[in-house]
Amino acid sequence: MKVGDALFKMMNELGIRQIFGNPGTTELSFLKYMPKDFNYYLALQDGISVGMAEGYYLATRKPQVVNLHSSPGLTNAMGFIYEALISRTPLIVLVGQQYSDRLIDEPVLYGDFIKISQGVVKSAYEIRNGKDAIKTFIRAYKESITPPYGPVLISLPQDIPDVEINEEKINVPKYFVSGVCDMSPIEFVLDKIRSANSIAIVAGYEVSIFDAYEELTKLAEKLNAPIYTEPYLSIFPIDSSNILFKGPLSRYKASDVVKELEKYDLVLVIGGWLNYVVFPDVDIGLNIVEVISDSKEASKRKWDTIVCNPKDFIIKLYNMLPESLNKYITRRENISPELNSDFVVDIFKELKVYLDKYTIFAEIPTYRDALIRTIDLKASSLYITRVGLLGWALSASVGYSLSGNKVLTIVGDGSFNYTPQALWSAVKYNSKMKVIVINNGGYLSLSKHKVEADWLFPSTSPWKVALAYGFEARESRDIKNDLKWLFEDDRRKLLEIRLTGH
């Protein structure tokens, strides 16, 4: 059996039957072994292929494989790989390398991928001979799905797939990662709860990753504790209609987070990052207990932390809480105040009636909080980049839609112009996808920093670009009628809404 055959057989055994990439000469020796029942999803730029793989993972919750073209492809995609690292997305990044016996010569396309990728992947390996290929892939797969999840890179020299190995059958070992909570930290938290008069819960992305939404809701109701979402929200973890939902914490300043949470005696951070803000202007010195499977995140924090599966923690804590506990908890007033009406909020209000069957990918920094407070959201119905990477939402939403789900992508004009090529892949693979571009004429989110310069406001027409890639597209003249046009059928459409004058 050839190494190329063996790698694809292994992927098949692991339930991975698709690859995302943009191929070059160093990848073809591997891809020629791809079985006919596999899908190769082509992106027109290397980074977009990584974003698409992330989106497909979010839809299926299974690790994905990306195939990049040597040094140019890897370096093109590094922003997206970094996003996968911070968002804890399990990917195997296969990078085509020059011939294994010629690496010392450093020929064209060669790169020291292990050194290049430092800081943007969990681990990186290079296959130097056929017998190590299977072991390396298994190791990369296991590392990618060990909390904290993340991308693992494999450098694959182009001669290795053709190497003959003594394998008649590919045996993939079972790999179980439980992370269950023992009782001592549960009892520790229970003691904290007994002595607190007011408790708040901050819900993070792991609530969705571990499918703990219902358990978290029951816990909050038993405690009568308001629920916030973590500052740099990436996966919406709850049902926004729940009376206990208070809203998203500020992602800008740590002092804003402190101001909102200091009214509580105890803050339970479950599956999220509380100190992940744009401006960490103060230390968050509150009575906090953080529960997360991510040991790397937990080790950074000066407050009490528990590293285990957050769903298991919630279930065990809930079962140990007495039914009468909520009489000690200060009841909270109703949820967050109404937003002041403006043009964008009015757009979101008009949008609400169309969203029942759509998953949303949003990249509108200026209007993120308005979107969350205006529309009705379910658990895992909204995804946002965790690192502020422009262009991620469009790429990831295409990948998500490949699973057959309907997707609405809401981006600004600045975000759209980073990865418009993703629309080509949406058309190529017949995705069910709608796009709204809120065009504020540049980078409005930077205007609050009191820098005035014409280069902050590039003027473009995204709807015209979308037409070139095969989308139906128009610039809005009448919001109500144009939204009706956007959602009246399953055809791929883009609606550009200009804010000039509003």
What is the DSSP track for 430-461?
T--EEEEEEE-SS-GGGGGG----GGG-----
Helix H segments across 293-435?
A: 295-299, 310-320, 343-351, 368-374, 392-401, 413-416, 422-428
How high is the pLDDT of residue 330? 46
Residue 453's pLDDT band (boundaries 50, 70, 90)?
A: confident
pLDDT digits (tens, 9 = 90+) for 392-449: 999 999 999 999 999 999 999 999 999 999 999 999 999 999 999 999 887 766 766 6
Residue 104's pLDDT band (boundaries 50, 70, 90)?
A: confident
- From the list 471, 468, 466, 464, the residue with the least C-alpha distance to 492 is 471
pLDDT digits (tens, 9 = 90+) for 182-228: 999 999 999 999 999 999 999 999 999 999 999 999 999 999 999 99
**Is residue 302 classed as helix, strand or coil in its secondary structure?**
coil
- Complete DSSP assignment for 12-60: HHTT--EEEE---HHHHHHHTT--TTSEEEE-SSHHHHHHHHHHHHHHH
What average pLDDT does this structure show over 66-86? 97
Please tell me the distance from the alpha carbon of residue 20 to that of residue 73, in angstroms, as a whole number.
12
Please say if the pLDDT value at position 142 is more than 70.
yes
Estimate to the nearest angstrom the gap between the alpha carbon of 40 and the chain centroid: 22
Percent of the chain with pLDDT over 70: 95
**Is residue 480 classed as helix, strand or coil in its secondary structure?**
helix
- Looking up tokens 């997360």 gives 292
Superfamily of domain 3-162 in CATH is Thiamin diphosphate (ThDP)-binding fold, Pyr/PP domains (3.40.50.970)
- From the list 233, 225, 230, the residue with the least C-alpha distance to 200 is 225
pLDDT digits (tens, 9 = 90+) for 263-282: 999 999 999 999 999 999 99
The answer to whether 137 and 7 have CB atoms below 8 angstroms apart is yes
Q: Domain boundaries in the chain?
A: 3-162, 183-328, 343-498
How high is the pLDDT of residue 341? 56
pTM (whole model) above 0.75? yes
- The number of CA neighbours under 13 Å toward the Cβ of 144 is 29
Please say if the pLDDT value at position 124 is more than 70.
yes
What sign has the CA pseudo-torsion 134, 135, 137, 142? positive
Q: Which amino acid makes up residue 446?
A: L
Domains 3-162 and 183-328 agree in fold? yes
| CATH class of segment(s) 343-498 | alpha beta
**Is residue 235 classed as helix, strand or coil in its secondary structure?**
strand
The answer to whether 272 and 261 have CB atoms below 8 angstroms apart is no
Please say if the pLDDT value at position 500 is more than 90.
no
- Looking up tokens 């740099």 gives 232
What average pLDDT does this structure show over 26-52? 97
What sign has the CA pseudo-torsion 387, 352, 381, 306? positive
pLDDT digits (tens, 9 = 90+) for 288-347: 999 999 999 999 999 999 999 999 999 999 999 997 665 444 444 444 445 555 899 999
Please say if the pLDDT value at position 86 is more than 90.
yes
> Dihedral, CA atoms, 331, 334, 339, 341, nearest 10 degrees?
-160
Number of residues in the chain: 502
pLDDT digits (tens, 9 = 90+) for 38-48: 999 999 999 99
Look up residue 167 and give its two tokens: 């394998």
How high is the pLDDT of residue 335? 42
Distance linking the first and last C-alpha atoms of the chain: 65
How high is the pLDDT of residue 459? 87
User: What dotted CATH number matches 183-328?
Assistant: 3.40.50.1220
How high is the pLDDT of residue 347? 95
- From the list 64, 310, 69, 73, the residue with the least C-alpha distance to 211 is 310
> Dihedral, CA atoms, 426, 427, 432, 436, nearest 10 degrees?
70
